[in-house]
């Protein structure tokens, strides 16, 4: 769903200088799957620290800097968030109530907000 929403994200996922010819090629690459695991570890850390997300602030800020350095635009995280919510809805089915959606949206927004500080710390393009 990610590349359906924003095909311009595909070139950002280059591993060993290899550009993928199409989204399916990228989606099946072991390096991409490893990246998805890392994203889910960040989400897991946020869930585990719901009562004290500030303890992840420095880590998430640095993660934001890393993403900016490779050319990710902060706006792309909206697409990632939409894809995350879509996946949760598909996996949870009827348990994905409006309240559950709102809770996940708030959690994801908090993660992105902390990562945004990485953009604020570096001028765009540096």
The DSSP symbol for 6 reads -
DSSP state letters, 39-76: HHHHHHHHHHTGGGGGGGHHHHHHHHHHHHHTT--TTH
The DSSP symbol for 110 reads H
Looking at the domain that runs over 1-120, which CATH code has it been given?
1.10.490.10
pLDDT reported for residue 70? 86
pLDDT reported for residue 15? 78
Mean per-residue pLDDT of the chain: 89
What are the residue ranges spanned by the domains of the chain? 1-120
User: Which residues touch 2 (CB under 8 Å, ≥6 apart)?
Assistant: 9, 79, 80, 83
Contact (CB, 8 A) for 106 and 98 = no
Which tokens sit at 57? Answer: 């602030």
Give the pLDDT confidence of 59-112 residue by residue, as tens digits: 999 999 999 988 888 889 999 999 999 999 999 999 999 999 999 999 999 999
Give the pLDDT confidence of 66-75 residue by residue, as tens digits: 999 888 888 8
pTM: 0.83
């Amino acid at each position: 769903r990610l590349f359906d929403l924003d095909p311009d994200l595909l070139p950002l996922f280059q591993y060993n200088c290899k550009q993928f010819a199409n989204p399916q090629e990228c989606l099946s690459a072991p390096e991409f799957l490893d990246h998805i695991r890392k994203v889910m570890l960040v989400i897991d850390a946020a869930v585990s620290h719901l009562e004290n997300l500030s303890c992840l602030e420095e880590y998430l800020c640095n993660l934001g800097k890393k993403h900016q350095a490779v050319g990710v635009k902060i706006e792309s995280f909206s697409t990632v968030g939409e894809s995350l919510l879509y996946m949760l809805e598909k996996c949870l089915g009827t348990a994905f109530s409006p309240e559950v959606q709102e809770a996940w949206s708030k959690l994801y927004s908090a993660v992105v907000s902390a990562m945004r500080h990485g953009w604020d710390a570096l001028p765009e393009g540096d």
